[in-house]
Structures are given as structure tokens and as C-alpha cells.
Structure 1
Amino acid sequence: MRNVVVIGGGIVGLSVAWELTKRGQDVTVLEKEARWAAHQTGHNSNVVHAGLYYKPGSYKARMSTAGNRSIVDFARQYGVPVEVCGKLVVATSDAELPALAVLAERAEANGVPAKLISPAEARDHEPEVSCVGALRVESTGIIDFPAVCATLVRLLDETSADLRLNSPALGIRPGRHGGVEVATGTDVVHGSALVNCAGLHSDRIARLAGLTPSARIVPFRGEYYELKPERRNLVRGLIYPVPDPSLPFLGVHLTRMLDGSVHAGPNAVLALRREGYRWRDVSARDVADVARFPGVWRLARKYAYPTGVDEVRRSFSRHRFAASLARLVPAVTADDIVRHGSGVRAQALRPDGSLVDDFLIETTRNQVHVLNAPSPAATSALEIAKHIADVVSDAAA
């Protein structure tokens, strides 16, 4: 029996560990924080994505469409809160209608149940919405992803998996008798194989393991507001704008959560620390890494003005943030929203300045590195895990 070392205790790492365990592998999971799902998994929108945005045939398209079903089935099987409520993607001007039609075609190509509807039909779902056309997506849902992780931890505990918190990977080298050795500062963990699911630090773990990754992680912070309790009636479900196809982000949207609260956001600004949830969270090392990477400057030349400037302005202005929401629901004003929190997206960027727009998984001897797994990775986690377990099994054959 092989022992596989998984680095990273978010939803992807825990899902990989669970899938490997089901296949008869011994597993050790190393998480540097004192709790599971501490970063991307614990700071996301808790939306179960349908899979309509992604290029047909891509990892994201295939894994999110399948993941939409598997994560909901998992939640229902183990009692994790989940609701398949559907969502609206709305065009707020005639200029957005062609892009909405393309999105509908992509949904059909990806096998996503979606239907173009009229403004009147859209208001049947969301009485306060303003649009000239909309796409109704039935399979989108909301879930408690941290609760999914807590369930996975419980299931792994029941299989006697070796789960270690406060265990950062500080050194990685080939094992003396094959496999790998991972130094945590207090111990050296031996494994026949290594799976890197370190999210915001995945590129650094890859380099620590001797791989030269094809992309670098650049952190983008997404900031959220929420509607005040007395204004939650303005939104019944999920309302999204038509996304800009040239950007990796879906735009500011409104999401009713399982507890009835309504979250608004996120925007997207460059974070000054890989785990920088506030402007004052600054890491000299992380800033220097960004400044030295030529891909960032090439990206900046393309997007800094006006897109980047607008995002920064919105970060500091509740009125600008509310104005973005009012494009979707005109009744929303700056007095209706309050700060809620933020998350940091681990976005992989290539040296030429291009954003990696699909999941990026690279392998070397006895190693699998998940180097780009932002949204919809949480939705797709069980499917990503099956793929990685196949890779590990093939390497052992």
C-alpha cells in the first residue's frame, strides 16, 4: 500500500485525500494553518456553479458540469446544507445581448440546463431586476463549502488518514528509497507520491519540490458587501451580470445565501499579500515576487486602465460599489449595503502576461501539482480529485 502526501487542506486537497482513501491508498494531509479550509475555500461565495461560462471541452467545463451534480449529491448524502435555486444572468443593455446569446450557446454545448427569457419572465424570478434579456440557469445552487470540508475531515478520520494541521511544507526532496520526503519543521513525512493542492502557494510548493512551473500565482482580492437585513427582500436568489469574456472574473453580482443574507460582490484588486484580505495586509516578499515577475507588467499594460483603476476606485467607495449593483437591481443604494469580508483568488499568470483560464495540473516523477484551481474549483473538487487519483494510479502502474 502506498502513502500519498497531500499538501493543502482546502476543499481540493481534502477531496483528493478522500478519493485516494476510497481507492485503498494511505494518505497524509499537511495543512500549514491551525484549521481546515482556512483560505480560498473558507472565503468564497458558496455558489455551486453550473458550468456555463467555460470553453467546451476544457477541464473547467467538464469538471464543473459533473461537479455540479457530484457536490450536490455529496451534500445531500452527508447532510451538508445545499439548495439548488437557479440563477439569472442578465443583460442590462442591448449591447450585452449578443454576449448573452453566446453564453446560452456555450451552456448548451456544455450540457448546462439554461434558457433565454424575456425581461418580464426575468421579473417573475426577480421582481426588482432591471434587464433587456436574461439567461435562466436552473442547476446553479448555494452550499456551505466549509461544511463540506468538515464532513470530508470526519470521513477521513474514520479511515484513519493522517491529518496534520500546523504542518507547513518547508522542504521537499526525493526519498532515499524512492518517493518523496517532506520536512514540516517538526517532522519528516515520507510518501510514495506527492500531490500539491496548496492553492495560493502552489507555485512555491512546486518550486520547493524541484519543478519549474509554467505559471506564477498572482493573488487578487475580491471584496464583498451585503444587503442590510431590511433590504434583503430586493433579491430572491442569484443575479449575475453578463461577464466580460476578456477577464477571468464574473463581475459584481448578488447572491442570496443559505441563511437568507444577500452578499454583493466581489470586485477584483491585486492583493499585496498572498493571504491579504485587507489593504493593510502587506508582505514584502509577496510584493517583491509580483514586482519581479514580467507577466504582471504585461498584464498591467493590458488591464490597468481603465479596468484596474475602476476596480481600485470601487474598492474604496461604497457609492461606486452600490452603483455597480444598481445596474442589476436599481433599488439598491449605498445606504443599503455594509462591508462583509473578502477572499483572495489564486490566479495563475504566465510570463507573457496571459491569465491561465483553465485548471492547470502539472506532473513530474511521483508528483502532481495543481497550479491553477480558482473558481469553479470548489464546485469541481470531487471531479478534480478523481482526475488526480487517476494520475497517481497511472504513475504507480
Structure 2
Amino acid sequence: MVQVPVGAYDCDVLVVGGGIVGLSTAYAITRAAPGTRVTVLEKEPGPARHQTGRNSGVIHSGIYYRPGSLKARYAVRGAAEMVKFCAEYGIAHAVTGKLIVATEREELPRLHALVQRGRENGIPVRELGAAQIGEYEPEVRGLAAIHVGTTGVCDFVGVARQLARASGAEIRYGARVVRVDRRPELGVAVLTSGGEIVRARVLVNCAGLYCDEVARLTGDEPGVRIVPFRGEYYELARPELVRGLVYPVPDPAFPFLGVHLTRGIDGGVHIGPNAVPAMAREGYGWRVVRPRELAGTLTWPGSWAIARQHWRYGAGELHRSLSKGAFLEAVRRLLPGVESDDLVRAPAGVRAQAVLRDGTLVDDFLIREGERAVHVLNAPSPAATASLPIGREVGRRVLDLLGRL
């Protein structure tokens, strides 16, 4: 075991993971307690290489999330703070608003429920009839829609880089954690793949796709397993067909928002994602298979429970993954004028979805504490939007731990 000599700390707080949540945590700690020594370990050669840098770039309003939940509170607060942060540091962003469009009659009650939820969460919402949709999106068709004015887009990778600079933390790239030795009376020592040993008073686990594994390395049982879902995207060859952001009405049984249209800060329009099981935690394509990680998913009882409960939904997602025609059909529900040649494959992302043993998909952000450790165990979308409030919450818990040592 790696020993932690008394008084030999390299830092006060060691953050594992250099995505937007880990870097926001470092930023929050150094802002709240100047002089606190923070080190961030990131296994990649730069920040934000996974969930942060492989998403739609949307600043979510918070309209989807259960009132009172962390997601609802942090997304609403985080959206406003993210726009302010981007403006302060000159990071590309735009508040575009978005449409959520019902294309089938059975979706109308769910659309109305979103209006009520938005109002409960303090979000301005405008209800639209079919003829009014064209005011915002001339090429989009639907039976009804709502316009959410506080939604936007930004460069989340740029945000992560600025958080790294502004935090004043020591950032070590290419430092994958391979072993953790935690002694409650002494501290935490981490061994990296490069043979370095980093000693800290408190560890913060923001490892995203590997957060449950890092928790177990620390000696804490997370009670969840990360089951990776790949989100596959296309880019629209005729971006002039879409002015802003267009979403379908989501199925409330799932944390996924369905195939949507997103005009990014670069002017391009991304379409997607669908959601299919990935055969590796960083499985950005069907050919990426890591047997150990796949076995971990298949041996988790919750994975089979998901398959039994939601096989019909999953079959549809798989069909859209394997068939461009099926994907095109889903897009045409919103954008009838799109053609097959308009869809150009774009890089995929992977969602780190925490799943309970009984197959429950953890719906809210999940943060747990252990001896000298704080673990962020579920922080998929809208975590990028909510990263500043999440970072403050994690930072508060870390400083409380430090204060008790």
C-alpha cells in the first residue's frame, strides 16, 4: 500500500477528473477559500475530452426537471451563471431560446405538463399553436409547441479551459489514477499510471465515466454502476434549414431528450443524439469494445432490469443507430424537408448514466461523501449547464470535511 506520512501532503484537495465538473469544483474551492492547495488529475492530455466536449453544447433552461430536484435548481441557476461567465471571459455563447414541438396528438398532454413544470421552476414559457411555430422555425412542423427563451449554446470546452486557468489549481494531464490508499487518520495517497504519488488531505471524485470505479478504489461502495450509453450525432449539410434549437417532447420515463436539432456557436447544426448501450465506457463507436468494462456492465443486475423494462424503447434506438433511414424518419417528424444526403456523420458522445441494482436510472445529480472523500456519482446532462452550482456544492462539502480534520 502507498503510505501517507503525517505532514507530507502535496495538496489539500485532490480532484480526480478534468472535465467541467472537476474543474468547476477546483475553481469553487479556491474562490471560497483562497490559499487552499488544489491539484487536479486528468488522464487525458487536455481538459474536457469526454462528456464535456462531446455534447450538443446546449445551455439547458431546466424545464424538464422535477421541481425541487438538484437538476432543476442547479440548471435554472446554472444557465444564468453560465451566460454571465461566458460573457465575462469572452467565451463564445448565445441565448437562442428553443422550441419543444409535439408532432403527435398523444404528446400534447406531455407538452402541457412541461409548460406547468417550467412555470413551477420559474422558467418563462410561451405556448404556440401549429401556425405560430413558423415564427421561430419556418421549416419545422408540429401540432403545437412551446418556446423556452432562456435556453442557449456555448463552448463548454472553452469554459473548462477558463475554469482551469482561473482556479489557480495545479492541473496534471496524462495522470490516470490506478490506486488509492486512504487512511482516515492520515489522508489519501493516489498512485498514477506514470508512477507519481500524490498525497492529499481530501479526495474529490469527479471521474465521470469511471466515477464508480474510483469510488471503489477509495474504499467506498457507490451503490450504483455507471452504464454507458452512446449518443450518435449527424451534422446537417444544409444548416439554413434550422435557425436555433428544436426538440421533440421527451418520454418522461427516460433521462434522454430524443433526437433534436441544435445550431451551435459555429453555425453548424447537429442532429441527435439517439441512445444505445456502449460496449466500453469510452465506446464512441460499435467497434470499440473493452471486454472488462463490457463484462462489468453485463454482470450488473440493473443492466438486465433495464433491458427487461425498456426493451421496446431500446430496440427503436438500436434501429436508428444501425439504419440511417430510420434516423432520417425520426428527424423528419420535426423537419419534413430534410433528405438523406443532408445527414453527415458527426462524432459521438457517451453518457455516464448511474444505474441502481434494481435497474432504476438515477434521475438526479448524485453526490455522496465518505471518509476524506466526496464522490460525484451521477452528473450527466445538464451537468455542463449546472457545473458552476455543482462545483460550489461539492466545494462546500470538501471545505466542511477539511474543517473537521
Shorter-chain TM range is: over 0.9
Assess if the C-alpha contact under 8 Å between 2:284 and 2:348 holds in 1. yes
Aligned to 2:6: none
Counterparts of 1:230-309 in structure 2, within 5 Å, are 231-304=238-311, 306-309=312-315
Contact between 1:221 and 1:343, CA under 8 Å: does it hold in 2? yes
1:123-157 Cα distance to aligned partner (Å, 9 max, x none): 1000111111101000000000011111122223x
User: Displacement of 1:175 after TM fit?
Assistant: 4.3
User: Amino acid of the residue matched to residue 58 of structure 1?
Assistant: S
- Give the match for residue 206 of structure 1: 215
Deviation track 1:226-283 (CA, whole Å, cap 9, x = no partner) reads 111xx21111000000000011100000001111111000000000000010100000
Q: C-alpha displacement at 1:396, in angstroms?
A: 2.6
Q: How does 1:23-62 map to 2 (within 5 A)?
A: 23-24=33-34, 25-62=36-73
Residue 100 (1) aligns with residue 107 (2)? no
- Distance apart, 1:170 and its partner CA: 1.0
Corresponding letter in the other structure for 2:172: R
Matched, 1:133 2:144: yes
2:204 alignment partner, SS class? strand
1:169-228 per-position Cα deviation (integer Å, ceiling 9, x unaligned): 111112486221111142111111111000000000000000001211000000000111
**Structure 1 contact 323–333 (Cα < 8 Å) conserved:** no
Which secondary structure state, in structure 1, belongs to the residue aligned with residue 384 of structure 2? helix
Q: TM-score, normalised by structure 2?
A: 0.95
SS of the counterpart of 2:331? Answer: helix
2:3 is matched with none
Which of 320, 324, 328 matches 1:314?
A: 320
Going from structure 1 to structure 2, the CA distance change for 1:164 and 1:109 (only over 3 Å counts) comes to same
| Distance in structure 1 (CA, Å) of the matches to 2:313 and 2:402 | 47
Per-residue displacement from partner, 1:41-91 (whole Å, max 9, x unpaired)? 110110000000000000100000000011111100000000000000001
**CA distance in 1 between partners of 2:165 and 2:402 (Å):** 28
User: Contact (CA 8 Å) 2:242, 2:261: kept in 1 or not?
Assistant: yes
* Residue number in structure 2 paired with 1:196: 205
Distance 1:199 1:247 in 2: 20
Q: Secondary structure at the match of 1:42?
A: coil
Runs of 4+ in 1 over 4 A off after TM superposition: none
> Contact 2:184 / 2:372 at 8 angstroms: preserved in 1?
no
SS at match of 1:41: coil
Q: Please tell me whether residue 372 in structure 1 is matched to residue 383 in structure 2.
A: no
- In the other structure, the counterpart of 1:383 is 389
Rounded Cα–Cα distance in structure 1 between residues aligned with 2:192 and 2:184? 18
Moved more, 4-13 or 315-324: 315-324
**1:6 and 2:15 correspond:** yes
Q: Is the 8 A contact 1:6 1:27 kept in 2?
A: yes
Q: 1:21 aligns with which of 5, 10, 30?
A: 30
- 8 A contact 2:29–2:396 mirrored in 1: no
Matching residue of 1:68: 79
**Residue in 1 that maps onto 2:5:** none
Secondary structure of the 1:346 match is: strand
- Counterparts of 1:200 and 1:67, CA distance in 2: 22
When the two chains are superposed, the root-mean-square deviation of aligned CA atoms in Å is 1.2
Q: 1:330 aligns with which of 336, 341, 347?
A: 336
- CA–CA distance in 1 between the matches of 2:380 and 2:292? 22
Counterpart amino acid of 2:374? Answer: V
- Counterpart of 1:379 in 2: which secondary structure? coil
What is the distance in 2 between the residues matched to 1:235 and 1:45?
Answer: 15
For 1:264, give the aligned amino acid: I
What secondary structure does 2:289 align onto?
coil
CA distance in 2, matches of 1:204, 1:191: 19
Give the corresponding residue for 2:398: 392
Q: Mind listing any 5+ residue stretches in structure 1 that lack a counterpart?
A: none
**1:299-329 CA-partner distances (Å, limit 9, x unpaired):** 100112x211111111111111111010001
Amino-acid identity (%): 50
Query: Tell me, what secondary structure is at the counterpart of 1:38?
Result: coil
Correspondence for 2:180: 172
- Name 1:143's counterpart in structure 2: 154
CA contact (8 A) 2:232 2:347 kept: yes
Structure 2 unaligned regions, length at least 5: 1-8
Distance 2:58 2:241 in 1: 19
Aligned length: 391
* Contact 2:284 2:350 survives alignment (8 Å): yes
